[in-house]
Chains A and B, each alone.
Chain A
Amino acid sequence: MRIPCPICGTRDRREFYYQGAASMLDRPAAEAPLEVWHDYLHLRDNPAGGTRDLWYHASGCGSWLVVERDTVTHEVLGAALVEACDAD
């Protein structure tokens, strides 16, 4: 698997650390109800098809990326810096 880091170029996935769903970007407000926080922490979609997840270019530039890929075809559709992204 290869991931196109917007800063370093396309690199082998061994350079990256996998985190999980990009919904982690959608951090609730501090005073949000506990239910909202529970959903944020625990609930994940498990799509057959398009997905957006977080990867960290640990052996590269140290950027957190949102990688768009397809869980069925394994196609990597693109990657963007977390700094330039919002959650779904």
Chain B
Amino acid sequence: MRIDGKGRVDRTRPVTYSFDGVTRTGLAGDTLASALMAEGELLLGRSFKYHRPRGVLTAGSEEPNALVTVRTGAQADPNTRATVQELYEGLTAVSQNRWPSLDFDLLAVNNLAAPFLGAGFYYKTFMWPKAFWEKLYEPMIRRAAGLGALSGAHDPDRYERAFAFCDVLVIGGGPAGLMAAWAAAKTGADVILCCEEPEPGGRLLSEDEQIEGRPALDWVQETVALLATRDNVRIMTRTTVTGAFDQGTYGALERVAGHLPEADGLPLECFWRIAARRAVLAAGALERHVAFRDNDRPGVMMAGAMRAYLHRWGVVPGQSVAVFGNNDDAHRTARDMAHAGVDVVALIDSRHDAENRAGDVPFYPGWQVARAHGGKALEAITLRAPNGRHEKLAVQGLGVSGGWNPSVHLTCHTGARPVWRDDIAAFVPRDGAVPGLSVAGAARGTFDTSGCLRDGAEAGLEAAQALGFSGALPHLPQADASPYRLRRLWAVAGKGRAWLDFQNDVTVKDVKQAAAENYVSVEHMKRYTTQGMATDQGKSSNVAALAILADATGRDIPETGTTTFRPPYSPVAIAALGAGAQGMGFAPQRFTTSHKASVAMGAPMIEAGLWYRPSYFPRKGETHWRHSCDREVTMVREAVGICDVSTLGKIDLQGRDVGAFLDFVYTNTFSTLKPGRVRYGLMLREDGHVMDDGTTARLSDKHWVMTTTTAAAGEVMRHLDWVKQAFCREMDVRFISVTEQWAQFAVAGPNSRALLNGLLDSPVDDESFPFMQCGPVTVGGVEARLFRISFSGEYAYELAVPARYGASLFDLLVARAEGMGGGAYGMEALNVLRIEKGHITHSEIHGRVTAFDIGFARMVSGKKDCIGKALAARPGLNEDREELVGLRPVSAGHLIAGGHLFGEGAEPVSANDQGYVTSVGYSPAMGCDLGLGFLRNGRARHGEKLRLVDHLRGVDIVVQVTDPVAFDPEGGRLRG
């Protein structure tokens, strides 16, 4: 019910929403939980295992019970905490984990079966027979025990990721956080203040307190206004700092549009990575429950939450309430509720010597609440007097406080453990737990507002000073300084089930049973009982559970220890973490200058690393890729073909010592290469295996350009940087990747020179431009580079122009080629052409082969050192190896890459494995499939027949071993 004159909701602005299909009205400023409470709706969900009715427990993100699914269809967002979901016009929410309805849940029969479903029941009950697990038990358990379900549809909402930087990050917008931000900001430091709530204020939003003799929220407003005028301060509301990571990196989730009826272009959420030189944790504290029989009845909530609902939203759970606690803070709830005109029927304090601080309310010092009564709503409580006498009181709401736990979570994210403080019976952060992070206010166990303000001011100033900023401590406002006193009480003795972890349905008895079954380590108890393993991570129950474990095992709490705190502090949608990476956003796309033209010609584009390259260029009448591929291969062999080879890595090297440098990175010698010449090179890793191959051209005395394979371009660049910076520091060499600066096209086939001479400003001939020649040319006045190199084995050139001319040159080349009986060719044809010639790619140099394996042992020069040379000479790398061979089918059927080779009569099992196939293609020139592969001692086995088997794809054929070069073995064609 709503209380007149209380709360920060706007009573002039009704908001219409629906819950479980019923249209309702709340107020602007409400959360879903407060709006429902205003209408007397306390039943908000069903528990995970027993389907017990559950209501709102807290007023924040730590909520274990009130989980709902908001929005509908593909946008449905399950497990949203009703306590933080701000109400907006048209909000749709449904309850979860109930069937057929929240009010009448058939699976509540689980509750009756409770004696069989205790701790570890999954492990015990569903063990045998094993086959039943996958088919029967697991699906059954998953259906019965679950939270909200995903829609199964693609998430249409937009999410973002962003980086932010600051000198001082302040986590939490309460009195400590605001003072920390103000103290740091005054020094001139760049400050980011993150607060989880829609507005700063922290706990002050939920209290009736004074600062400087005026309402505390006036001071909050003034301070926020002061901060807002400074351009070195950024206040981020609705932003939860979810994790602390190394070197001052923090993760934070900003809920950007989840409180708006329409996102209107905004992302739903944004995940921030904040790099902060210093940080102040002022995240406050979370209240904890006391376990007693049926303490989970809707209407039982945290005492501080009951106060928050009153002061922030002007709502209470009922006409008559009671408060039960073990500390002075609980008294405030009784006091404030009574002030608001609610009938406070009892203030029960388990401390026999407690003084009543709530004013004129019935006070029960030394008493305890032994039981809650009611089903879907609290109806009464049973009190137990110090002498054991019982008394039953009718109530609609019960506020419970077992004390407050400082929010130490972030201080433990990098591995530190918190420290137990006996006086407040709580864990506090360990000093220096996260380098650069200090803790202020309730997060370190300072609970009074005056102390929080001082703590925050000191921490904020110290953080700024540590960075070299200077300033003075700001004025400390007058505020409440009441001490916080408590005497520990975790559970009230008695029969029945007393609940600890509401979300996972863990009872005091479950924890004791775990201890009895020797799960005495807190980490084992947690996993055995599932205590703290739900989405709330046991924020309101973990400490009580481990206190009970400590008691059951005869240890104290520090000795028992805590479970590990891990990020995120509160749930973060994968969609936010991976924002922008859905679909094609997963990886960048690199397009060549001929991309548009290729697509326009109907070429299917295939991925080559991040690049997109044309697979083949279909022509009219071609109904299968092989038609196009065969035609393109024949075209290159008989006329002329054009292929964009710009994706190959191009590295421009300049300096006096480039030749010497290349001698060191390539196995063969380059320093002897004359300007205007090109040489093929082989590069090893230091372990002696092949890294990459390619050609390097010497454009002039001190200017060279290296090509790498498309696949290894990045790796080679990194390798060259390494070799230069680590081992060749004195050399006069500079290099840079120019892959994207040059567009390069292969012009291959018997008509290639004729085609080029129709284009070049001055023609070339075999004498001036023999095989492996390079040099400057001009095309239509554009300075270009011409290379007489060939990957296809044909008479061929490669022509390179600055990338801005790439598209027009490609069009021109293709048009000329088509006029000469040729045209563009794609990756399929390129692959067949190189297989015919036995040219390797990374299908062959896949990381486990040596120069010896590919028949290039003689390319490792004996006259000089090079990377990989010493270790390439290791025993075992140069004898009895799998060597590169060619393969052709002898029986019917196709070759298949990935298939393995066996002796003709041998059983195709791994013990008999002789090698494997790496590349295959159909050669129109040879009229059969051709393959490349590796075969044990293969160079000595040409002519032998073998069995090629691929068990996965059901291939079993006979093949013949050949030389890797199937076509034009003398190389006459490429020389012309």
Contact = CB atoms under 8 A, between A and B. Distances in A.
Given A27-B726, A41-B686, A64-B725, A2 B869 contact: no
A30 interface: yes
Contacts of B726: 24-25, 27, 64, 82
B246 interface: yes
B870 interface: yes
A27 B727 contact: yes
Interface string B702-724: 00000000000010011001100
Interface in B226-260: 245-249
B249 A1 contact: yes
A51 B316 CA distance: 58
A1 B869 contact: no
B22 to A, nearest CB: 48
A12 B273 contact: yes
B152 to A, nearest CB: 32
A27 B163 CA distance: 39
Interface in A53-79: 56, 58, 62-64, 73-76
A2 B273 contact: no
Contact of A64 (B246, B273, B686, B722): B722
B77 interface: no
B718 A17 contact: yes
Interface in B329-361: none
A27 B399 CA distance: 70
Contact of B870 (A28, A62, A82): A28
- Most A Cβ at <10 Å: residue of B163, B721, B865: B721
B870 A30 contact: yes
Nearest to B727: A27
A81 B435 contact: no
- Most B Cβ at <10 Å: residue of A3, A24, A64, A75: A64
B858 interface: no
B870 A37 contact: yes
A73 to B, nearest CB: 8
B687 A1 contact: no
B382 interface: no
Given A1-B245, A34-B870, A58-B718, A83 B687 contact: no
Nearest to A30: B865
Contacts of B80: none
B443 interface: no
B871 interface: yes
Given A30-B870, A41-B686, A76 B722 contact: no
Contacts of B249: 1-2, 12
Given A12-B273, A12-B275, A41-B687, A74 B874 contact: no
Contacts of B725: 63-64, 81-83
Contacts of A63: 721, 725
Given A81-B725, A82-B725, A30 B246 contact: no
B729 interface: yes
A1 B273 contact: no
Given A24-B726, A27-B727, A30-B870, A74 B414 contact: yes
A32 interface: yes
Interface string B671-707: 0000000000000001100000000000000000000
Interface string A1-31: 1110000001010000101000011011010
A62 B717 CA distance: 9
Contacts of A64: 721-722, 725-726
Nearest to A83: B725
Nearest to B247: A2
B869 A34 contact: no
Contact of A2 (B246, B721, B729): B246
Contacts of B718: 17, 56, 58
Interface range, B side: 20 to 34
Contacts of A83: 725, 729
Given A56-B722, A62-B721, A63-B725, A76 B247 contact: yes
A71 to B, nearest CB: 12
Contacts of A12: 163, 249, 273, 275
B250 to A, nearest CB: 12
Contacts of A62: 717, 721
Nearest to B432: A73
Contacts of B687: 41
Contacts of B869: 30
A62 B714 CA distance: 11
Nearest to B414: A74
A76 B247 CA distance: 7
A10 to B, nearest CB: 8
A30 to B, nearest CB: 4
Interface string B860-874: 000001000111011
B926 to A, nearest CB: 42
B871 A2 contact: no
A1 B250 CA distance: 10
Contacts of A58: 714, 718
A25 to B, nearest CB: 6
A41 B247 CA distance: 31
A82 B722 CA distance: 9
A5 to B, nearest CB: 13
A25 B686 CA distance: 12
Interface string B388-418: 0000000000000000000000000010000
Contacts of A32: 870
A17 B721 CA distance: 12
Contacts of B865: 30
Contacts of B275: 2, 10, 12
B244 to A, nearest CB: 11
B437 to A, nearest CB: 13
- Most A Cβ at <10 Å: residue of B246, B247, B414, B869: B247
Nearest to A37: B870
B435 A2 contact: no
A69 B249 CA distance: 16
Nearest to A72: B415
A37 B246 contact: no
Nearest to B687: A41
Nearest to A76: B247
Contacts of A75: 435
A63 B687 CA distance: 23
Contacts of A74: 246-247, 414
Contacts of B246: 1-2, 74, 76
30 contacts: A1-B245, A2-B246, A2-B247, A2-B275, A3-B247, A10-B247, A12-B163, A12-B273, A17-B718, A24-B726, A25-B726, A27-B686, A30-B865, A30-B869, A30-B870, A32-B870, A34-B870, A34-B873, A34-B874, A37-B870, A37-B871, A41-B686, A56-B718, A56-B721, A56-B722, A64-B725, A74-B246, A75-B435, A76-B247, A81-B725
Interface pairs A-B: 3 shortest CB-CB:
A30-B865, A2-B247, A1-B246
Given A34-B873, A74-B414, 9 more contacts: A1-B249, A2-B246, A27-B727, A32-B870, A41-B871, A56-B718, A56-B721, A75-B435, A82-B725
